[in-house]
Amino acid sequence: MEHTTNAQPVFDTRGFRHALGRFASGITVLTVHHDGRPHGMTVNSFVSVSLDPPLILVSLDNRSFMHRVLPGVGRFGISVLAQNQDALSNHFAGRIAPDLHIRFISRDGVPLLEGAAAYFIARVEDAHRAGDHTLYISRVEHFEWNDERPLLFYGGQYRHIAGEKGQPVPYAQDDYSLFSIGSFDPPVR
Ligand SMILES: Cc1cc2nc3c(=O)[nH]c(=O)nc-3n(C[C@H](O)[C@H](O)[C@H](O)COP(=O)(O)OP(=O)(O)OC[C@H]3O[C@@H](n4cnc5c(N)ncnc54)[C@H](O)[C@@H]3O)c2cc1C
């Protein structure tokens, strides 16, 4: 927090954005079937919430078109972009690329993007207004994944995973619920 001369606190929004940018994430495109056609939006606020029941969360800007249509549509797709799909991320964030070849696939009537690293189909269960965004907590009905490497987002830039091998996560036996995401296997007791 910075202070002006008359001691009114001024929140450092620019610094806040920089600090948030230190948190690396993947990138997804959220898709719905709306008005007889697919609509997509780039989203990196995708979070796993619960394994049982399987819940995920996305945080959508209250000014976005997707925020207006999602409650009515109910079901949506999440495509976790593969490392060669940065052009799709730009496009579905509003930087339209006219020559971009966009190919949708469909699962149970929900559109998804061809060539992604993982897919989820989810149904909105709860919406919580949170400042200028709304948190949509949604139940996963279907998921798929493959060996494509994901596209990463860090420091406001697209990144790729370097190197072939990761480091195993060290953990205390009772801590495994903290690592319940992804391919981490809990210890056999
Ligand atoms: C890396 C990254 C992460 C982001 N994460 C978030 C986030 O978590 N939450 C958030 O609120 N915002 C996020 N944004 C911003 C968000 O992606 C943009 O504000 C987006 O434009 C909002 O989409 P919209 O639903 O308002 O629709 P629009 O802006 O109308 O749609 C998005 C774009 O997709 C195109 N498009 C949509 N459907 C189709 C189709 N069927 N065929 C071809 N083109 C189509 C549209 O032409 C438009 O250019 C992120 C942006 C980036 C770059």
- Report, as an integer, the average pLDDT of 45-62: 97
Confidence of residue 175 (pLDDT cuts 50, 70, 90): low
110-157 residue pLDDT tens: 999 999 999 999 999 999 999 999 999 999 999 999 999 999 999 999
Q: How many Å lie between the centroid of ligand 1 and the Cα of residue 42?
A: 5
Buried b (16+ CB within 10 A) or exposed e, 18-50: eeeeeeebbbbbbbbbbeeebbbbbbbebeeee
Please, what is the average pLDDT of the chain? 90
Residues found in the chain: 189
What is residue 169's predicted lDDT score, i.e. its pLDDT? 78
Coil, strand or helix: which one is 86?
helix
Which pLDDT value is given to residue 184? 53
Every domain of the chain and the residues it spans: 43-154
For ligand 1, residues with CB inside 6 Å are 27, 37-45, 59-61, 64-66, 89, 91-94, 96, 102, 153
CATH no. for 43-154: 2.30.110.10
- 98 vs 114: CA distance, rounded Å: 18
**Which amino acid residue places its CA nearest to atom 4 of ligand 1?**
43
pTM: 0.91
